[in-house]
């Protein structure tokens, strides 16, 4: 298969996946900074935040594994399997940035 016959969506898929991963990485750094500031007493933070931080990681990992297995079981392309696995983490980082920064 030559380059001219390649599907445009298939060419764009890795870029979209990279964009989602980059956004999640940025949001993760924001969450780390906000939680660190909260633990240092620089920002107001719920007393249960450290426990929430641990529990949500286990929940996200479980959801990501199941989503990836479902996508792979349907025969999806590798980028779609990765995107499915990324979705639970991305959902949590986005929600955490909003909640911790007071933008709810």
Q: What pLDDT, on the 0 to 100 scale, is given for residue 102? A: 85
Angle at which helices 49-73 and 78-101 pack, to 10 degrees? Answer: 160
Residue 5: DSSP 8-state: G
Does the predicted model carry a pTM greater than 0.85? no
- Could you read off the pLDDT of 51-61 as tens digits, one per residue? 999 999 999 99
pLDDT at 22 over 90: yes
């Amino acid at each position: 298969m030559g380059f001219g016959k390649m599907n445009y969506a298939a060419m764009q898929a890795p870029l979209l996946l990279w964009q989602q991963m980059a956004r999640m990485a940025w949001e993760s750094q924001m969450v780390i900074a906000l939680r660190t500031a909260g633990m240092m007493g620089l920002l107001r933070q719920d007393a249960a935040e450290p426990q929430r931080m641990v529990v949500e990681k286990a929940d996200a990992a479980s959801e990501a594994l199941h989503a990836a297995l479902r996508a792979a079981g349907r025969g999806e392309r590798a980028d779609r399997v990765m995107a499915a696995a990324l979705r639970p983490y991305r959902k949590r980082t986005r929600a955490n940035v909003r909640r911790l920064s007071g933008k709810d």
